Amino acid sequence: MKRAVLLVSCPDRKGIVKEIASFIANNNGNIVHFDQHIDPNKEMFFARVEWDLKGFKLSEESIKEEFSSVAEKFSMNFSIHFTDYLQKVAIFVSKQGHCLYDLLQRFKSGELNGRVELVISNHEDLRSVAEFFGVPYHHIPKHSSNKEFAEKKELELLKEKRIDLIVLARYMQILSKDFVSKYENKIINIHHSFLPAFPGAAPYRRAYERGVKILGATSHYVTETLDEGPIIEQDIIRVSHRDTLEDFIQKGKDIERIVLARAVRWHLEYKVLVCENKTVVFS
């Protein structure tokens, strides 16, 4: 059952829903989901519209072109996607494997709508994991002295594989401003704290020292500024005075996995829109 998904953001005005719905109905499409949101402060309109393509009068190729006249009328930012397209994903890791295992297993089982084309790491440690799942593993060491060169190699690989989404699954390196700008809102990171608490290094240790009673994890799009990109999802787990720093790390892993997997899933299902530094996550 092939479907189209339209993501739209534009200044709010009367008649937008009507125009979008008419475009689909007049071309014989059946709307399956129409999720709309108005930000009353910014007076912005956001929508995610999913419709069945069975019997739809327009070809995939022409939908975008035909919709452009509607889009222009309302100064829309929009994108159109098709649910049968398998998005190409790259996963970046360092030494910790819990998120990598989890993601690869979810992709393999069909839970996540995409295909992992490659794993890139600044270490050798996780090669066997990637290879067990049949995914090519590229070891690209990174030091202060070779960072530019390493990123160049990474970008070549990403381009060659036509990567749609980059997932930083506990990748302990900061990407350059230039790198990030090439994949705007297409790089998802997992930070192991409840942002904006404990940004930067060693969040579990700092949480332990502060004596918090709950640990958090945050998945967000990567922007120039470390740990300040638009938040996609957060979740928490309880800790107590009995938990050591090692327990904090162990318990935290359980929510890191889930919070990252949710963000990846929603992104791959075209459910996330970014507006300034916030996300709209259609449910």
What is the set of active-site residues?
A: 227
Binding residues for a copy of itself (CB under 8 A): 12-18, 21-22, 24-26, 28-40, 47, 97-98, 101, 105, 109, 111, 132, 194-198, 210-214, 216, 230-236, 240-242, 244, 250, 254, 258, 261, 277-281, 283
Q: Name the 3-class secondary structure at 199.
A: coil
Residue type, 193: S
Q: How much is the CA Rg of the chain, to the nearest whole Å?
A: 21
Q: Which is nearer to a copy of itself, 95 or 115 (CB)?
A: 95
Report in angstroms how near the CB of residue 230 gets to a copy of itself at its nearest: 6
Measure CA 274 to chain center. Answer: 11
Separation between Cα atoms, residue 50 and residue 35, nearest integer Å: 9
Report in angstroms how near the CB of residue 158 gets to a copy of itself at its nearest: 27
How buried is residue 60: exposed, middle or buried, by Cβ count under 10 Å (0-12/13-18/19+)? middle
- Specify whether the CB–CB gap between 103 and 168 falls below 8 A: no
Name residue, tokens 């297409």.
Answer: 186
Q: Which is nearer to a copy of itself, 66 or 254 (CB)?
A: 254
Report in angstroms how near the CB of residue 159 gets to a copy of itself at its nearest: 31
**What does residue 228 show for φ and ψ, rounded to 5 degrees?**
-120, 10
Q: Which is nearer to a copy of itself, 143 or 197 (CB)?
A: 197
- Give the residue from 193, 185, 183 showing the smallest Cα distance to 279: 185
Helical pair 16-26 and 60-73, crossing angle rounded to 10 deg: 150
Report in angstroms how near the CB of residue 248 gets to a copy of itself at its nearest: 13
Q: Which is nearer to a copy of itself, 172 or 249 (CB)?
A: 249
Q: Which is nearer to a copy of itself, 69 or 244 (CB)?
A: 244
Within 8 A by CB and 6+ apart from 159, the residues are none
Name residue, tokens 């036509």.
Answer: 162
How buried is residue 276: exposed, middle or buried, by Cβ count under 10 Å (0-12/13-18/19+)? exposed
Report in angstroms how near the CB of residue 163 gets to a copy of itself at its nearest: 25
